[in-house]
């Protein structure tokens, strides 16, 4: 002990994991209030079409249930008994194959922690949702990117090649799939999924937007022991801020997931809100129906602008290529008018904006601004 010089300044950064220390910093999106102040517009004047949130919000019954719940001072049930029972009734899947998370995002992280050692590989098919790559990298995994084709369909042959090459002794352990995909809104066909399920890997099917598509791989989980389906209340049920998601897992991994899950991962508020949403399906489905109708209108109307090329979407957003104009400038011009959209400029998404489906008046405001800029 005497050899150690106590009380000396410690350079805490030298103690960090070197891979984390070398990681690029994450650029967080600006909080709504900050953006509102910066634009000099009150929050109610801002048309937020940049994060695929549900403009109709939670159902009134959900808000009433949240207000009435008396036990927020008590820790939530670590076994999520009531929530898993509710999900089981809703899905027609036994509760012992269902696990809820603080959003689907938490379950993605949990899956990576369950399967990945440093150096293990995963397959991600960009352009797609960013969290697969993010969570895999935090585990020190190798991210193998198999780009989608120009029409955003998967390159199945290229994915399969990573499992047959004899020089790769360590084939990828997880393949991340998204249907409908974010940011284009395209579906993965049942044929493509069934082909990928033959691979000796965990197939994670992220169905965050499935309620807007009316198609799901959920029933395929019955006869495939390597398929995980993830879903969320964030988009269709308007609970993004409360963080409620769930997964349907192969029976063989449930026991292991329980070992590594944080005991209180789903808050009492998220639990109450998710259960109340499942009790108010008619109301929420009506909003989903409205959003689907509005998506069709938005797609049609955006296609009338000669500088926009919308891609067909089955989700609650529409991706557009911006042609002959600066997409970043377009995004900024819309922002000055209080309309927020998502701008991309990376491989596969050059000069693109993604517009979330809002209420009809949000589409109207967007179309008016697009005519002005």
Ligand X SMILES: *Cc1c(COP(=O)(O)O)cnc(C)c1O
Residue ranges in contact with ligand X by CB under 6 A: 103-105, 129, 178, 182, 206, 208, 232, 234, 240, 245
Q: Are 48 and 338 in contact (CB under 8 A)?
A: no
Between 247 and 338, name the residue whose CB sits nearer to ligand X.
247
Q: Would you say 234 or 351 has its CB closer to ligand X?
A: 234
We find the least distance from the C-beta atom of residue 101 to ligand X, in angstroms, to be 8
- Please report how close the Cβ of residue 330 comes to ligand X at its closest, in angstroms: 22
Q: How far is CA 279 from CA 85, 90, 219, 233, 334, in A?
A: 13, 10, 22, 13, 38
Nearer to ligand X, 55 or 338 (CB): 55
The residue with its CB nearest to ligand X is 103
Residue 250 burial (CB count, 10 A) = 14
Identity of the residue, 121 or 274, whose beta carbon is nearer to ligand X in the bound complex = 274
> C-beta of 18: minimal distance to ligand X in Å?
29
Min separation Cβ 105 and ligand X, Å: 3
CB of 204 to ligand X, least distance (A): 10
Instruction: Write down the least CB distance from residue 94 to ligand X, Å.
Output: 22
Closest-CA residue to 239 (of 287, 176, 202, 196):
287
Please spell the DSSP secondary structure of 297-316, one letter per residue: HHHHHHTTSTTEEEPP-SSS
DSSP 188-221: PPHHHHHHHTTSSSEEEEE-TTGGGTT--SGGGG
Nearest to ligand X of 129, 249 (CB atom): 129
Closer residue to ligand X in complex, CB, 129/152: 129
Residues 6+ apart with CB under 8 A from 37: none
- Give the nearest distance from C-beta 267 to ligand X in angstroms: 13
Distance of CA 179 to the CA centre of its chain: 10
Which tokens in the block code for residue 57? 């919000």
Pick between residue 105 and residue 184 the one whose CB is nearest to ligand X. Answer: 105
| Residues sharing a CB contact under 8 Å with residue 53, sequence separation 6 or more, in sequence order | 234, 235, 238, 240, 356
């Amino acid at each position: 002990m005497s050899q150690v010089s106590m009380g000396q300044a410690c350079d805490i950064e030298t103690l960090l994991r070197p891979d984390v220390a070398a990681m690029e910093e994450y650029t967080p999106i600006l909080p709504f209030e900050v953006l509102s102040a910066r634009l000099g517009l009150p929050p109610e004047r801002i048309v937020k079409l940049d994060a695929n949130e549900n403009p109709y919000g939670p159902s009134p019954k959900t808000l009433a249930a949240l207000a009435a719940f008396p036990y927020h001072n008590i820790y939530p049930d670590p076994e999520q008994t009531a929530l898993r029972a509710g999900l089981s009734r809703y899905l027609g899947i036994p509760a012992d194959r269902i696990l809820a998370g603080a959003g689907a995002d938490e379950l993605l992280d949990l899956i990576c922690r369950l399967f990945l050692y440093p150096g293990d590989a995963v397959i991600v098919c960009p352009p797609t949702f960013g969290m697969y790559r993010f969570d895999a990298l935090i585990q020190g995994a190798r991210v193998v990117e198999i780009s989608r084709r120009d029409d955003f369909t998967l390159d199945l042959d290229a994915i399969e090649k990573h499992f047959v090459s004899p020089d790769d002794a360590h084939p990828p352990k997880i393949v991340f799939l998204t249907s409908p995909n974010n940011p284009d809104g395209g579906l993965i066909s049942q044929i493509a999924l069934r082909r990928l399920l033959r691979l000796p890997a965990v197939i994670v099917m992220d169905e965050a937007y499935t309620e807007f598509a009316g198609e799901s791989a959920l029933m395929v989980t019955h006869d495939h022991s390597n398929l995980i389906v993830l879903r969320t209340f964030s988009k269709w049920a308007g609970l993004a801020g409360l963080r409620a998601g769930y997964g349907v897992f192969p029976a063989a991994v449930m026991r292991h997931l329980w070992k590594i899950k944080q005991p209180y991962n789903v808050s009492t508020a998220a639990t109450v809100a998710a259960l109340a949403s499942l009790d108010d399906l008619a109301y929420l489905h009506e909003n989903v129906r409205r959003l689907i109708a509005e998506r069709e209108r938005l797609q049609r109307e955006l296609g009338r602008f000669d500088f926009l090329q919308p891609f067909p979407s089955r989700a609650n957003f529409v991706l557009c290529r911006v042609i002959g104009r600066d997409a970043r400038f377009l995004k900024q011009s819309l922002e000055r008018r209080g309309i927020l959209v998502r701008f991309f400029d990376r491989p596969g998404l050059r000069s693109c904006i993604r517009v979330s489906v809002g209420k009809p008046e949000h589409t109207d405001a967007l179309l008016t601004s697009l005519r002005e800029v």
